[in-house]
Structures are given as C-alpha cells and as structure tokens.
C-alpha cells in the first residue's frame, strides 16, 4: 500500500518551454506532499511542501514563479518547471506523508528532466 506514482519518468524539453511533472497517490489520500531536487551524486534538496488546497511553502532560494506547485486534490500534486533552462536539468522526486498505523513517507520513482 501507500504508493505514489510519478510521471513522466524521463522528459527532454527545449529551453524556454514548460514541463509538468505529476505525482498521484494511488491508494491513500495525500494531504501533504514534498518536492525534491537531486543533483548527480548528491543528496535530496527539498524544494517545497504542499498541502492540499493551500499554497505551497517553498524553501529558501527556490523560485516559486519558476517552480509552480499545485496540490488541488488529495491524490494529485504537480510541479511545473516554467521557462526551463539547461541549469534546471535534474532529477525531481515527489514524496507524500502517509498517516495511520504505518505512518511515514513514500516516494515517487523520480523524473529525469533534461533541458536542451
């Protein structure tokens, strides 16, 4: 149980275009989701925390106008990278908080974004 499905797994886009990444909770309601960015051979950097129905809380240094996060339902959160540039190329991972007896965090499988 507690599966988060993240799509697409890989995407290549042209510089200046926008890309949307989706994360869906398949068998639970995700009231809180997290978006991370991971650079090669490095740890995960938290970008923002989103709560269903509210505006996302961005970490210091993350451009909220560039990385748009929407969490309009209890099963879907999206990250849109707007006007993408090569420096936005990275591995993006979503995570959801799972409550209940087996509480914890479950992660999507990640999206490899390459901007050319």
Q: Is 32 in the site for another protein (CB under 8 A)?
A: yes
Closer Cβ to another protein, 8 or 99, answer by number = 99
Q: Is 109 in the site for another protein (CB under 8 A)?
A: yes
Q: Is 105 in the site for another protein (CB under 8 A)?
A: yes
* CA 106/CA 89 separation, integer angstroms: 23
Helix, strand, coil content of the chain in percent (nearest 5): 5, 55, 45
Q: Is 54 in the site for another protein (CB under 8 A)?
A: no
CA quadruple 10, 24, 65, 53: dihedral, nearest 10: 180
Which residues bind to another protein, rule: CB under 8 A? 6, 31-32, 34, 41-44, 46, 49, 93, 95, 97, 99, 104-110, 112
């Amino acid at each position: 149980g507690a599966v988060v499905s993240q799509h697409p797994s890989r995407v290549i886009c042209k510089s200046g275009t926008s890309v949307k990444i989706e994360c869906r909770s398949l068998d639970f309601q995700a009231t809180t989701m997290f978006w991370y960015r991971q650079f090669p051979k490095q740890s995960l950097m938290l970008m923002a925390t989103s709560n269903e129905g509210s505006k996302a809380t961005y970490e210091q240094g993350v451009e909220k106008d560039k990385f748009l996060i929407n969490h309009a339902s209890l099963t879907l959160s999206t990250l849109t990278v707007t006007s993408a540039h090569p420096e936005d190329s990275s591995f993006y991972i979503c995570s959801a908080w799972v409550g209940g007896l087996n509480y914890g965090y479950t992660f999507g499988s990640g999206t490899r974004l390459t901007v050319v």
